[in-house]
Amino acid sequence: MGRVSAICVLVFILAEMASASYIEPAATGHDSRIDLSWCGGEARYHVYRGSTPTGPFGRLTDEPWKFTVYSDFLGENEKTYFYRITSVDRQGKESSSSQVVSARSSAMTDEELLTSVQQATLRFFWEYAHPVSGLARERLGSRNTCTSGGTGFGMMAIVVGVERGFIERQDAAAHLLKMVRFLETRAERHHGVWSHWINGRTGKTIPFSKYDDGGDLVETSFLIQGMLTVRQYFDGADAVERELRETTTRLWEEVEWDWYLREPGGKRLYWHWSPRYGWKMNHAIGGHFNECMITYLLAIASPTHGIDPACYHEGWVGGDGSEYANGNSYYGYKQWVGWPKGGPLFFTHYSFLGFDPRGKRDRFCNYFENNRNISLINRAYCAANPGQHKGYSELCWGLTASDTPGGYTAHEPRRDNGTITPTAALSAMPYTPAESMATLRHFYHVYGKRLWGPFGFRDAFNLDKDWFAQSYLAIDQGPIVVMTENYRTGLCWKLFMSNPEINPMLEKTGWRQEPR
């Protein structure tokens, strides 16, 4: 995946000129599955599989397939299958078949399987990126609705893809440059801050709710976290990488973090501002440990619109920290800060995709240790299973925000309806590597036929309801790629922390580095 760039474009142009579909599929064997990819445009496809090169071939797709990737989850290894693909026009007529390709499934080591999962998950940000802007779509099927925070996660995932050899460096740099050019020249900004949802074709703000139709400071901080990671990785002297660095720097420096203090001399950041409704959302950030720590860290670090470091203590912590701190133990694990039993696990992921918590402490705790224990509490809760939900165990755990049989909900030990979300346990990989790896294999080998799809693990499942989501969400897929890599190599942590604005901010704010 990712290497079908210039050749694929040429093939597609020739196919269009010939008024015929020309498909060049490739098949790759993985543990328990075979993945297919091919050149294509806006067409639809049917995928056929046979056990011999000459067939017979049975159709795998019930409806015409919308993507140029397909993952055939077999659930078995040492199996060889043969595939051919047709395109389908608007009248439902199929083209002639592609050439036949084949691959063999085979067992993988843990390291090989991690690479395989990262590669498949990255496709959401590469193969399914918005065709005009390159931004990350909010979710599967969201068409022009793109997400600013999920785009930041996707930028970091693309960096991982280059480092792992999934994507050519020059292709990634060009794609990322398209994204930041769009964010600079076409996407609406509100005092330098992007909206939660952006129209990927026009750049217009898409309201997230009635009054949330302007700047979203938290989602913007996730986007900037991604941009700063990109800025440090693409350090080449060629024109594309140079412009990429210059543009990300401008966008970072144009975010008016200080505006979102709401008033001069304010000490607490506010999440939303609307050009029509002003501060009507009235959503202050801070006072409890959640996903927003990175917002304060970046606001203090800003070289152009920085806020007083005291805002970390008075705004983020909330003064004396009486509501921020915890200090209790659950299932034998101490939790220094955060909601009782930790809350949804994305609290320990989103701010820490780039910000490296290893050995970092403020006056409350070492955040790596706190995040690890929250992860272990989440796992222990699922193993204890006080709600008697089907499937819960030490291998089947992970409560966070995701789709659910009744809609989108933040799941956590105090609000649990039986929905398990793969990103929760998988994105905890740096904190709980052995436990997360065992759970990855459990999800993959036990539920793979229903839980796996073209972009990796689907969003969630609920065995009480015999329900498996068909959805993918950018904010859930991105952390899987990035946090897995942080466990393996620390790549995104190293890159983000190498930005020259970060360590001085930590010193001014009173953070300490403990020996690791």
Question: How far is residue 227 from each of residues 104, 129, 158, 245, 492, measured CA to CA in Å?
Answer: 39, 17, 11, 9, 11
Q: Which residues of 269-283 are buried (b: 16+ CB within 10 A; e: fewer)?
A: bbbbbbeeeebebee
The pLDDT of residue 53: 97
Cβ atoms 29, 105 nearer than 8 A: yes
Cβ atoms 425, 440 nearer than 8 A: yes
> pLDDT tens digit string along 135-180?
999 999 999 999 999 999 999 999 999 999 999 999 999 999 999 9
Distance separating alpha carbons of residues 420 and 458, to the nearest angstrom:
11
For residues 348 and 204, state if they share a domain.
yes
Q: Determine, yes or no, domain membership for 57.
A: yes
Q: Determine, yes or no, domain membership for 213.
A: yes
Residue 12 has pLDDT above 80, yes or no: no
The pLDDT of residue 41: 73
Q: Determine, yes or no, domain membership for 159.
A: yes
Choose the weakest-confidence range: 17-26, 307-316, 490-499, 507-516: 17-26
Q: Determine, yes or no, domain membership for 496.
A: yes
> pLDDT tens digit string along 271-288?
999 999 999 999 999 999
- To the nearest 10 degrees (0 to 180), the angle between helices 367-384 and 433-451 is 50
Q: What domain range includes position 313? A: 113-513
* Whole-number percent of the chain with pLDDT over 90: 94
The pLDDT of residue 78: 98
For residues 85 and 119, state if they share a domain.
no
For residues 92 and 164, state if they share a domain.
no
The pLDDT of residue 21: 46
CATH number at residue 489: 1.50.10.140
The pLDDT of residue 11: 44
How many whole angstroms from its chain centre is CA 427?
10
Radius of gyration of the chain (CA): 23
Q: Determine, yes or no, domain membership for 239.
A: yes
CATH number at residue 20: 2.60.40.10
> Which one of 60, 82, 107 terminates a domain?
107
For residues 93 and 179, state if they share a domain.
no
Q: Count structural domains, the chain.
A: 2
Q: Name beta bridge partners: 420.
A: 461
Residue 14 has pLDDT above 60, yes or no: no
For residues 273 and 189, state if they share a domain.
yes
> pLDDT tens digit string along 195-254?
999 999 999 999 999 999 999 999 999 999 999 999 999 999 999 999 999 999 999 999
Q: Determine, yes or no, domain membership for 266.
A: yes
Cβ atoms 235, 281 nearer than 8 A: no
| Torsion sign over Cα 259, 263, 268, 272 | negative
> pLDDT tens digit string along 23-38?
899 999 999 999 999 9
> Which one of 55, 74, 107 terminates a domain?
107
The pLDDT of residue 357: 98
Distance separating alpha carbons of residues 345 and 290, to the nearest angstrom:
9
| Range list of H helices, 86-133 | 110-126
For residues 344 and 399, state if they share a domain.
yes
For residues 155 and 12, state if they share a domain.
no
Cβ atoms 146, 132 nearer than 8 A: no
Q: Which DSSP state fits 313?
A: I
H/E segment holding residue 419? strand 419-420
Q: What is the mean pLDDT of residues 376-388?
A: 98
Q: What is the mean pLDDT of residues 176-186?
A: 98
Q: What is the mean pLDDT of residues 87-112?
A: 96
Q: Determine, yes or no, domain membership for 425.
A: yes
Distance separating alpha carbons of residues 487 and 431, to the nearest angstrom:
8
Q: Which residues of 210-238 are buried (b: 16+ CB within 10 A; e: fewer)?
A: ebbbbbbbbbbbbbbbbbbbbbbbbeeee
Q: How many Cβ atoms from other residues are within 10 Å of residue 176's Cβ?
A: 26
For residues 481 and 405, state if they share a domain.
yes
| Torsion sign over Cα 356, 358, 362, 367 | positive
For residues 366 and 344, state if they share a domain.
yes
Q: Determine, yes or no, domain membership for 1.
A: no
For residues 123 and 34, state if they share a domain.
no
Calculate the average pLDDT of the chain: 95
For residues 23 and 142, state if they share a domain.
no
Cβ atoms 408, 402 nearer than 8 A: yes
**Band of pLDDT at residue 5, cut at 50, 70 and 90:** very low
Choose the weakest-confidence range: 16-25, 170-179, 413-422, 485-494: 16-25
> Which one of 107, 123, 139 terminates a domain?
107
The pLDDT of residue 8: 53
The pLDDT of residue 515: 85
Distance separating alpha carbons of residues 402 and 420, to the nearest angstrom:
9
Cβ atoms 358, 369 nearer than 8 A: no
Task: Give me the phi and psi of 136, to 5 degrees please.
Answer: -80, 130
> pLDDT tens digit string along 117-127?
999 999 999 99
**Band of pLDDT at residue 102, cut at 50, 70 and 90:** very high
For residues 117 and 83, state if they share a domain.
no
